[in-house]
Structure 1
Amino acid sequence: MSEPLYEKRPLRDAVERHTGGGTPPRQVASYWKGNIPWASVKDFPEQEGVICDTEEHISSTGLHASASNLIPEKTPLVCTRMAVGRAALPVIPVAINQDVKALFPAPGVSAEYLLKLMQHIRPLAEGKAVGSTVKGIRIQDYLDIPAPLAPQNAQPVIAQILCTLDDAISKTNTIINKLKAIKQGLQHDLLTRGIGANGELRPPQSEAPQLYKESSLGWIPRDWSAQSLGDVAESLVDGPFGSNLKTAHYVEDPGVRVVRLQNIQQGEYDDSERAFIASKHAASLARNRVTAGDVLIASLGDDNYPIGRACCYPLELPDAINKADCFRLRAGDYCRNTFVMLFLNGAGARKQVRQYEQGVTMKRINLGNLRRIMIAVPSIVEQDLIIQRMNSVKAQLNISDLQLTKLRNEKIGLMNDLLTGHVRVTPLLETTTP
């Protein structure tokens, strides 16, 4: 017969006391930019519950001139407004604002174990939040949420197992961030210096000026050419004339896919949101046909999703139709689609797009100006080498991303099993008992 699940009791049974915070007056400059980290909701990570530093800092005078409190390191914190229920453990002493509460563990309860309980009950906290514009929860209502409390001797082991998994997630995140930085730096170097006859990056222009020439794009390798996007394209079209793809035209699958703005990410096609139109309708839009490997370019953007961001249509997907606000490009014989996509996502193209963008809230570039974007074109052989180098880093990133997803899914399952008592740590306790 299986053991019963751990008894659910109010979270307050695991908490000795709690305290809140506040915000020093913004108009007093001396209260800000001090050396005391000041935590608000924006400092709470979505996935990993650790706060190593904060975006804003206050001074000691700012701390004493407000309702803020300095919270010791490794004291669990929870958001009670906006990101309700999001919890984290600071590794440094921090001051907190009014949207955050600090929960001090009851005697015999470790801070790490309390944090895991708080993360476990987050969906319940979100469900209890109230408010029309900004949701919040009273601390008393939060502490009343039932949580499964394990026996005290099991709590440290549960916390240790979950913290070990958190460490693995954190290390994988660090690897991913390093790979992203490497990818960004490598992309810049490859698009401005390229790969020489020795198979390595050319030295910078400042070190080997004889290898470069001046162009409308600045210094580029001597055997490269600077050409407009309109010249390198065999075909470059915008969406259907008159934006005639409306909600009423969409049908359930099976149908012909429609490429929309949200599908175009920088260097990646996001297939999570799909739309379809009838085959008969698609046949009338043959000019806008999208096939495997075509370059897709966003004509609209903002600070988070820049104008001109580009990706290639995946090889494994069936043909599609590009919607208004999505340009479709096919390069000519002397230029690879993938190279064009890489260049459009680089700093050189970004700078040019900003010169042509129009609009206030939502920025836009039209087809005529897109054709004017200049691109530095190496030989086909060198383009292929550049693509290979970028694909190698991308493959490493993909492996790390898959590993991160696997670890996070494992954490979700393990948290539920260990914290509720579905899986007991009794065998581990027996091996650690003297």
Structure 2
Amino acid sequence: MNRPLTLTDLPRVLAVSARDPESLAETRARLAGWLENTPDADLDDVALTLGTGRERFPCRYAVTGDSAAEAAALLADVGAPADPDPAPVRAPGDGPLLLLDGTALASASVDLPEVADALRLAREHADDVEAARTVAVLYGLTAWLRARGVTPCAVRGTGVGALAAAAARGDLALPDALSAAAAGTPGTDEDLPEEGHTGAPVVVIGAPRPDALDPLALDPLTLDPLTLDPADGTTYARLLAELWRRGYEVDTSLGRPGRRVRLPGHPFRRREPGGPAPADAAPTRPLTPYEQRWLFYDLVRHGSSGDHNAAVATVVPGPPPAPDALSAAFAELQRRHPALRTVFSEPGGRWLARTLPTPDARPAPLVPDPDGGPERLREAVLDAARQPLPLRDTPLVRCCSRGGPAHWALALAVYEPLTATLDPRRLLDELVGLVGAYAPPTQPQPA
């Protein structure tokens, strides 16, 4: 019997982006040349560097492969189809629609931590019945996609996949869903949400069947679904690559560890004399009505901006990260999201917004609390993050951390006007992931 595939068996995803199609073609060629000259490159290192060290641009491309030579050939293939149009800006929650197909799985799923945890519960609560295993795998794959930054607009299911979908939505506890499947409770094909899915890509998770979507009345724009076959490792990489191309901020490292390496940089084209100015040349812009309303209210109230800091916090087990790792991660978060580099200025008596070219906000570590439990640490960093912001000529984002005896807490606060295009909770989750990427690996202790 062949062993099930693991995370290390999956193809790698190399994702690139640029401001315009010409720059994207040059970016692809530069990376292809680097890979050709570095045949022993570790693609996990390359994927992590591309995913954590660069600003996202609207023109995107991605390839999947198992070796540097294969990836270089795909990147250099000028005949490969590429979308000339920039990817749309995706709002928080504007994710794909996940459809969980409850057909019994003929082969073992790729061995992922989220799937393994769900299968363990299936053995404990459902005697490892086949229907329960199917529910566990579908639930685990949904959790794995969410950990990769795929935030679905909705999750629905067919057959016993409806039980997995209910558990994924939080409508049903996973042990209860597994027990129901083991008891032979028939799953009911779920209707699509009445709104919110039009134009969103559909991702079918489960055994591939031509009629998987027959019971569901899909919008004509979504009749060509993407697929994730639990037993086919290539579909995992292809799915994340395609979502990246469509503008989603997904983790194209697939959750594999790696280290940052030096790769070719983005091409920056100079404007020809008489040609149009680049889109990012204007240093300022007028405030939107939404920004004006919040800013003027807080200026009049003198210090009320602290009440309008959208602050979120999390507690992480273990020792706090080194200050330079947290600083590097916070700077990278600002590089990824230009809105976090927004400052409000008042030149000549008129308020304007401008985007700083480089990150300017720095983390604010609090004095460690040697007796602090998780909740006390969380409240401390939230309180610090919610303090008023100067509002004038300073970043409108704040990061606070505090270490404790067994945990450390991290808070992120974003001034309310910026949350029109940013989701603070997703930003905080992304920041925690970046801290892990920048933190040095734990050294084994000598025996």
Report which of the two structures shows the higher radius of gyration computed on alpha carbons: 1
Please confirm whether the aligned pair reaches a TM-score higher than 0.5, indicating the same fold.
no
- TM-score normalised by structure 2 residue count: 0.25
**Structure with the largest fraction of strand:** 1
Provide TM-score, normalisation by structure 1.
0.25
